[in-house]
Amino acid sequence: MTRLLALFAALMLASPAFAGEAKVPETPIAEVETGLASGDCYVFDANSSSTREKHGTIEGATLLTSYSDYDLALLPKAKDASVVFFCGSTKCTASDKAAVRAQEAGYSKVSVMREGIKGWKDAGKATVPVAPKKS
């Protein structure tokens, strides 16, 4: 019984809710597509350059240089604007970390597109190529 309680405690401490990480709301692919088309949301690509070279990006997305240390000036001036971050797939957490940074900067309508660029492509949505960075 003691082992079971210890395991439960360890799992709880490892979960985002207990570890102090904010739970970021999710926005489905269809809503991101609609928001982009209408201009009602700003979309941010938190992927690495190698992921972008392989999968491209969403047309209209702002490319972040770093998911953890991007320039906050890239975000819209209005703190109540809808901002959506995405990364590679459901297994990637770069978008969550970038979203938390926006929340900490005072943005109130922050979400992630959980499926990422791979899910976007799997849904048959178009991407645009990203040129490799030159050294």
Domains for the chain: give ranges and CATH numbers.
25-122 (3.40.250.10)
Which tens digit of pLDDT belongs to each residue from 63-100? 999 999 999 999 999 999 999 999 999 999 999 999 99
Mean pLDDT value of segment 27-45: 97
Query: How many whole angstroms from its chain centre is CA 57?
Result: 13
Q: What is the pLDDT of residue 132?
A: 73
Q: pTM for this structure?
A: 0.83
| C-alpha closest to that of 61 among 109, 113, 102 | 113
CB 59, CB 37: distance < 8 Å? no
Which tens digit of pLDDT belongs to each residue from 89-130? 999 999 999 999 999 999 999 999 999 999 999 999 999 999
Task: Identify the three-state secondary structure at position 43.
Answer: strand
